[in-house]
């Protein structure tokens, strides 16, 4: 069995006509300190970090929040649209270690924030087995891979802290 390192979320956009507007620039809310790759939503027309666990997702931050006055800077986001795959670690409550189960593929989980996922004082988002509100695991692919390259990295039953592919649930997506 393998143990996967806990890493930040990563993304892949499968072949899709929406690639022409893959990155969007929207005004950022006041004092936002979210990490890069955090799920974000619009509140009063401004980009802010999603709730923890995420119950609505507009997209994902390309860079960290800039901690400034509301509307003064733009936040760069990847919209949560059809065809977008998210890769992340599947863990338990509070980002504790978890083993992969065959039944995990096709199951919905929470998208949750841990303040220490990536190390002391280094927050990160992960798929949490504590709930079923945000994402659905669609593949045992261990992580994203370059185009035209076969990804032979599959998570096996029993692997610890598995890194899997998921999609944002339609009920959670707020992208128009």
Does pLDDT of 19 surpass 60?
no
Does pLDDT of 94 surpass 90?
no
Least confident of 4-18, 116-130, 140-154: 140-154
User: Could you tell me if 31 and 104 lie in one domain?
Assistant: no
- Candidates 141, 169, 176; CA nearest to 53 is 169
> Average pLDDT for residues 144-162, to the nearest whole number?
72
Instruction: Specify the residue for token string 């280094």.
Output: 122
pLDDT on residue 7: 83
Asked if the peptide bond before residue 94 counts as cis, ω within 30 degrees of 0, the response is no
Dist CA 87 CA 85 (whole Å) = 7
User: Could you tell me if 91 and 154 lie in one domain?
Assistant: yes
User: Could you tell me if 51 and 93 lie in one domain?
Assistant: no
User: Could you tell me if 61 and 138 lie in one domain?
Assistant: no
Q: By 3-state DSSP, what share of the chain in percent is helix, strand and coil, each rounded to 5?
A: 5, 35, 55
pLDDT on residue 84: 86
Look at phi and psi of residue 103 and say left if phi exceeds 0, alpha if psi is from -120 to 50, else beta: alpha
Q: What is the DSSP string of 28-88?
A: BPTT--PPTT-EEEEETTEEEEPPSS-S-BSEEESS-----STTSSEEEEEE--TTEEEEE
Does pLDDT of 147 surpass 60?
no
In a domain, 9, yes or no: no
Domain carrying residue 91: 83-168
Does pLDDT of 96 surpass 60?
yes
- Cα 70 to Cα 8, 56, 63, 79, 131, distances in angstroms: 26, 21, 17, 20, 32
Does pLDDT of 146 surpass 60?
no
User: Could you tell me if 162 and 88 lie in one domain?
Assistant: yes
In the chain, how many domains are there?
Answer: 2
pLDDT on residue 11: 79
Give this prediction's pTM: 0.88
User: Could you tell me if 54 and 96 lie in one domain?
Assistant: no
pLDDT grade, residue 18 (50/70/90)? low
């Amino acid at each position: 069995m393998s143990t996967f390192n806990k890493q930040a979320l990563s993304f892949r956009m499968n072949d899709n006509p929406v690639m022409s507007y893959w990155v969007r620039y929207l005004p950022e809310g006041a004092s936002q300190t979210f990490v890069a790759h955090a799920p974000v939503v619009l509140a009063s027309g401004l980009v802010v970090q999603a709730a923890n666990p995420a119950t609505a997702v507009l997209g994902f931050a390309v860079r960290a929040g800039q901690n400034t006055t509301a509307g003064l800077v733009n936040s760069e986001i990847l919209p949560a649209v059809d065809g977008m795959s998210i890769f992340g670690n599947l863990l338990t409550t509070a980002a504790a270690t978890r083993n992969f189960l065959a039944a995990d593929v096709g199951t919905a989980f929470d998208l949750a924030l841990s303040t220490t996922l990536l190390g002391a004082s280094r927050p990160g988002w992960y798929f949490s087995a504590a709930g079923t509100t945000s994402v659905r695991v669609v593949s045992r692919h261990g992580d994203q891979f370059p185009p035209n390259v076969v990804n032979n990295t599959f998570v096996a039953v029993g692997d610890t802290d598995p890194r899997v592919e998921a999609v944002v649930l339609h009920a959670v997506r707020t992208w128009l």
